[in-house]
Structure 1
Amino acid sequence: MSPFVRSAVVLGLLCATGPLAIDMFLPALPTIAGSLNSTIAASQLTITAYFIAYGLAQMVYGPVADMVGRKPPLIAGLVLFAAGSIGCALAPDMNSLVAARVVQALGGAAAMVIPRAIIRDMHTGPQATRLMALVMLIISVSPMLAPLAGSGIIALSGWRAIFATLAVAAALSIAVTLLLQPETLQPEHRTPVRLAALLGGIKTLLRDPVFMGLTFVGGFGMASFFVFLASASFVYTGHYGLTPTGFSLAFAANAAGFFTATQLAATLGEKFGADRVVNWAVTGFMGFTLLLVGLVWFGIDQFALLVGLLICANACLGLVIPTAMVMALDDHGDIAGLASSLGGMLQMLAGGVMTMLAGPYFNGTPLPMVVAIAIAAVLAFAAMRFTASARTRRPVAPA
């Protein structure tokens, strides 16, 4: 196995830790609501709280990783994730489950932000996009297989066993980090955490319209997926009558469209240019979701049509997210950890806020879900146009 592929496998397995906490959990949402004598809205809070805590925690891990190296905070986060998973497995009520999910998210954030900084340590440009795409290919195992695994675990041992499984996955991730992942930030390149420097770096990033625009292109794209995560299990099982296993298969089809497209991102970026690929893909993403809203609005409520258009929309999104992530970090290699943290936090907060805003309108039918997804797509398109405008105004660096 080449070092490039080995890095993709290791980083992909690490990055999959956090998504596993969502994907294995999704088929259990209706069951958990009944088991803990709670409401659908309260069970959705276990997802919203996870996203918000996951986003906020990224602001801690990035600067710490710039100061002490990549491995120590990554291991600490995985230990916290394991502790939160055990807390979820033992939760006696919904409030306790939400609190444990917050702990789980605070740890899981390390396994997302730090691998992105590791990628930036090793590569830039098309090579970084290619590695990011390979990492996402590994991560794709999670949304395609984890819901099925979750359904099987529920059938055999109940929903609490899902979180016990996640604790074991965290222990395996710690072993992988210790044994297979080298430190990529050498001591001479580490940056001590100084409040003035930290605030200065944040100020620089917030004032960079290209960084902010690209961050929210990916952020609103991810927000659409978060809305789907919070709603789909109830729509698919309640409105369309699917079993947990049927939901898992439909969810896997959507994920397959996304992750198949990610593997084309680097090649298309090299051939046509990353800016053009993002432009085309965001436009397609908006077009498919608006078409879906129009069809559902006028009463064309067909499950196959819903899944088919969501696959097309998510395939467009698969071209956007890895490319936008790399482009956002390209100009900030000296503060890659901080940039990755701030970008990740803003993206997760966008997803959490969008899910919270859509929650009160959810009624178990597809319409509120697809409207919220389309709104996120329109906002991603607006962010893309803002980024394009900012690039044209940016001064050309002297040769």
Structure 2
Amino acid sequence: MLRTALVLGLLALVGPFAIDMYLPAMPGIATAFGTSETAVQATLTAYFIAFGAAQLVYGPLADRFGRRPPVFLGLAIFIAGSAGAALAGSIESLIAWRTLQGLGGAALMVVPRAIVRDLYTGPQATRLMAMIMLVISVSPMLAPLAGSAVIAFAGWRTIFAVLTAAGLLSLLVTALAQPETLPPTRRLPINARALARGARQLLGDPGFMGLTLVGGFGMASFFVFLASAPFVYVRQFGLSPTGFSLAFAINAIGFFSASQAAGYLGDRMGMRSLVRRGTAGFTLCTLVLFALALAGAATLPVIVAGLFCANLCLGVVIPTAMVLALDDHGENAGLAASLGGTLQMLAGGVMILAAGPFFDGTALPMLGAIAVCGLAALGLTAAMLPRARIA
């Protein structure tokens, strides 16, 4: 299991690196292109939406051709998008190349989840998903610091050159170290009617939809933070790019340290109970933070500490919800993984767009949008989780 976790984690690491590594550069990109903060945030929104929509394609491809070919295709597209972003001459061009990056990186989200479902179910799958997330945790803890170092010595364009190299390395890792996990006898032909029927089945399953959207709004809180924090931490609180990276890493440590306990806690208290309790804790933390911001008491240490606690709770929710959403859908795990991933990424993109008009460079709108994500996740847990067919 450890070898599989390392390989899948390294593959899944590429997409988050494409987000986290360039976060410290966002204020500088706005200055370089003479554009607004909202326009630079659009480079994230474009990536998320493309990343989400493309998962609908890679899932069926993974069910039809096996798990490896879609990874090769996605990496080729990601490499092209990264190289183009390094040469972008305008913010519009950068948005377009980031969209292409997202279209390619989506494969690295869908296929590892389907491989996990090929190999394991239940708490074992949660443990493997948590181990993968431990590898991925390198991204939010080290990628912004790496991005800061690159900016200091070579400028923000070099970040995308590094991402191009990461894509090439991932191609090599996949070719040499990741075997095919879907035998030809289990592969499904691409059939528009069958896909529509499978999608209707998934969309009509309250357990799948509830768990997917609980995880989706949890992830959306991350996306709102990613789009806003570089400006809030640097401009409101005066942090350097390196200081922002360190503050960002503290929040990430909360999430990924908790995710490692998800399998154990799922065994002890039941996976449904774990999702319910974790969501409640996350929502409480985000509401307290927002209340402190309204009272003018949301200092930088308070925000960092509050988000750390919120992400501790969220760390047990997202891997558990991902696994439970797929447990009843092993016969079309690729489609379920892709549809679930699409819904989650679209939730994140929509939340960034919805919060954008309220963003004024301060922490209040950011914390308000994160609290809305918590309330949405809690409401879905209460309304839909009792109807899920899980233990």
| TM-score of the aligned structures, taking structure 2 as reference length | 0.99
* Residue 301 of structure 1, CA deviation: 2.8
CA distance in 2, matches of 1:336, 1:387: 21
Tell me whether 1:108 sits opposite 2:84 in the alignment: no
* Residue 38 of structure 1, CA deviation: 1.1
| TM-score of the aligned structures, taking structure 1 as reference length | 0.97
Name the residue aligned to 1:353. 350
**Which of the residues 10, 13, 21 maps onto 2:10?**
13
Letter in 2 for 1:256: I
* Residue 387 of structure 1, CA deviation: 2.3
CA distance in 2, matches of 1:356, 1:102: 16
Name the residue aligned to 1:379. 376
Counterparts of 1:1-399 in structure 2, within 5 Å, are 4-391=1-388
CA distance in 1, matches of 2:188, 2:281: 41
Cα-Cα RMSD: 1.0
CA distance in 1, matches of 2:298, 2:206: 40
- For structure 2, list consecutive stretches of 5 or more residues without a partner in the other structure: none
CA distance in 2, matches of 1:348, 1:302: 30
Q: Which runs of 4+ in 1 moved over 6 A?
A: none
CA distance in 1, matches of 2:296, 2:158: 40
Q: 1:125-160: per-residue Cα shift (whole Å, max 9, x none)?
A: 111000000000000000000000000000010000
CA distance in 1, matches of 2:171, 2:284: 42
* Residue 345 of structure 1, CA deviation: 0.1
CA distance in 1, matches of 2:380, 2:60: 26
Letter in 2 for 1:35: A
* Residue 252 of structure 1, CA deviation: 0.3
CA distance in 1, matches of 2:46, 2:99: 6
* Residue 39 of structure 1, CA deviation: 0.9
- For structure 1, list consecutive stretches of 5 or more residues without a partner in the other structure: none
CA distance in 1, matches of 2:35, 2:294: 30
* Residue 388 of structure 1, CA deviation: 2.6
Letter in 2 for 1:285: F
Letter in 2 for 1:87: G
Provide the aligned length of Structure 1 versus Structure 2: 391
CA distance in 1, matches of 2:114, 2:42: 29
Q: 1:231-263: per-residue Cα shift (whole Å, max 9, x none)?
A: 000000000000000000000000000000000
CA distance in 2, matches of 1:240, 1:326: 38
Letter in 2 for 1:34: T
Asked whether the 8 Å contact 2:286–2:310 carries over to 1, the reply is yes
Letter in 2 for 1:28: A
